[in-house]
Amino acid sequence: MKAGCDLSYVAAPQVPAAKISTMAPDLIVYSLASAETIYEQDVPQILAKKFDVLCVGNGLGDKKESLDAAAALVVGAMELDKPIVVDGDALKAVKPLLPKLKDNIILTPHAGEFKALFGLAPNEENLKKVAMKVKCVILLKGHVDMIAQGGRSFKYNESGNPYMSKGGTGDVLAGLCAGYLAQGVDAFNAACFGAFVNGVAGDIAYSEKSISLLASDVLSRIGSAEKMLLE
């Protein structure tokens, strides 16, 4: 929503859904059948909802049932030709699907997730190497973000600061990428702009909060960052 979307929906098991609806009244929350785990049988219910982009993996956890559900969600969204952002634990779920992922999908691994996903050290050379083998966009998060897709221009993002390594800032980034995708920005540019805006918002937050900045501070400065960059 901070990226400019009108509506944002969250599908979650009953216990987290109740907490989310209380903490974030701007979101529309769908409560799934089980108390604390998402299952593959929940996937048709989620995919039946009207949506423009799927963001999967944030807070997912690594239970086999959850990973199976995430993989089924990605496959289902691809069949509907919907753009997808894959973040966090869902990256483990899509490893077997890498050759099938389309060019409207963004993967957002940090260094450890990149190594687990591709079996390679997280550096520029290896990122370019794997980008040539898959169609999707890869946004490798780090002190300098690197974004690659096939033979397209390789991009760096140098905005941001070391204190953005705190939990949750990657979730903000994933949401921004999804928000720009939902508004028709292609996946490569959505990833580039998402990383840039997230970093600028983090720099604004750092100028105000110093080393105490939290992911929620970054989120609250997204509007200031977009205003600075777009106007």
Dist. CA 149–CA 138, nearest whole Å: 6
Compute the distance between CA of residue 146 and CA of residue 156 in angstroms, rounded to an integer: 5
In a domain, 168, yes or no: yes
What is the span of the domain harbouring residue 217? Answer: 9-230
**76 within some domain:** yes
Q: What angle do CA 204, 208, 214 make, to 5 degrees?
A: 80
Q: What confidence score (pLDDT) does residue 154 get?
A: 94
For residue 181, the domain's CATH number is 3.40.1190.20
pLDDT at 152: 75
What's the number of domains the chain is made of?
1
Instruction: Single out the residue of 13, 109, 136 nearest to residue 66, CA to CA.
Output: 13
157 DSSP β-pair partners: 145
Handedness of CA 88, 90, 92, 98 (dihedral sign): negative
Q: Which regions in the chain score pLDDT beneath 50? A: none
pLDDT for the residue numbered 65: 96
Asked whether residue 197 is assigned to any structural domain, the reply reads yes
Residue 223 domain flag: yes
Q: What is the CA radius of gyration of the chain?
A: 17
Tens digits of per-residue pLDDT, 147-199? 999 987 799 999 999 999 999 999 999 999 999 999 999 999 999 999 999 99
Specify the amino acid at residue 75.
V
Residue type, 7: L
**What whole-number distance in Å separates Cα of residue 182 and Cα of residue 133?**
26
Phi, psi torsion values for 29, nearest 5 degrees: -110, 130
Helices 124-131 and 111-118, interaxial angle, to 10°? 50
